[in-house]
Amino acid sequence: MATLTDIGQLITKDPHSNRPVITGTRTSVRRIAGLFNQGNNAEEIARRLNHLTITQIYAALTFEIFIEFILIGLRKDKIIQESF
At residue 84 the predicted structure's pLDDT band, cuts being 50, 70 and 90, is: low
For domain 7-83, say whether CATH 3.40.50 is its number. Answer: no
Where are the chain's structural domains? 7-83
pLDDT at 67: 85
Q: Which residue intervals of the chain are DSSP H helices?
A: 7-10, 29-37, 42-48, 54-83
Check whether 80 has a pLDDT greater than 70. no
Tell me what pLDDT residue 8 has.
Answer: 78
- Using one digit for the tens of pLDDT, what is the confidence trace for 10-62? 999 999 999 999 999 999 999 999 999 999 999 999 999 999 999 999 999 99
What pLDDT does residue 2 have?
A: 66
The amino acid at residue 24 is G
